[in-house]
Chains A and B, each alone.
Chain A
Amino acid sequence: MAGLSLLDWALDGVLALLLLWLAWRTLSTPALFRAVVLFIAFGLVLALVWARLYAVDVALAEMAIGAGVTGALLLAALARLEPPIGRGRAADDGEGDGT
């Protein structure tokens, strides 16, 4: 495949590094909310990669599903899993007796 120019390789390399870095940060960052936001960014970069690989159908689906719907599902679940920032957490930080 001689058709790839240096510019192509540079683009691919930057996208690949970005993808790996976002994946690593998604899985290692301590805060779950930040992890979900990073995952949405991961999906968007992945859509660019699909477009680079001439998989335009997959890029469209990834934009709508991987970054959009999955992100919304994760954020909704996160809101129901974590105690709210305000009153709930303050009560929890006490003795935890607020039934």
Chain B
Amino acid sequence: MTQAVFWALIGMALVVLGLYALIVHAHLLRKVLALNIMSSGVFLVFIGLARRTPDADAPMAADPVPQAMVLTGIVVAVAATGLALALIVRLRALTGRTTLGDDMGD
């Protein structure tokens, strides 16, 4: 196993872990955390596989295209997180709830 494959596998473990928490937990803030961990896992797969260059022993050898895509992805993730948190705060202010679903109401 190479370093690239190793970190790609860790990234997939993070995706699966985040997906489990996303489905299981009801609190919306926890779902946002789970989504962020999922996206970190996807980034890890990208950056890990970017290291599969033939001259991987050379210093700083990595494919710059996935790195640039992850860089945009990080900024998009923080923007989405900000919007999601604003929606959650608004939901709490309007209904007093921090979960979705209609089984909690009256």
A and B touch in the complex (CB under 8 A): yes
Instruction: Please list the residues of chain A having a beta carbon within 8 angstroms of any beta carbon in chain B.
Output: 1-4, 8, 12, 16, 19-20, 23-24, 26-28, 32, 35-36, 39, 42-43, 46, 49-50, 53-55, 57-58, 61-62, 65-66, 69-70, 73-74, 76-78, 80-81
Q: In the assembled complex, how far is the CB of residue A41 from the closest CB belonging to chain B, in whole angstroms?
A: 12
Beyond A2-B57, A39-B33, A42-B37, 20 extra complex contacts between A and B, CB < 8 Å = A3-B57, A16-B7, A16-B10, A20-B10, A20-B17, A23-B17, A23-B37, A27-B17, A27-B25, A27-B30, A35-B30, A53-B7, A54-B61, A55-B67, A58-B43, A58-B67, A61-B71, A66-B78, A74-B81, A77-B89
Interface residues of B (CB under 8 A from A): 2-4, 6-7, 10, 13-14, 17-18, 20-21, 25, 27, 29-30, 32-34, 36-37, 40, 43-44, 47-48, 50-51, 56-57, 59-62, 67-68, 70-71, 74-75, 77-78, 81-82, 85-86, 88-89, 92, 98
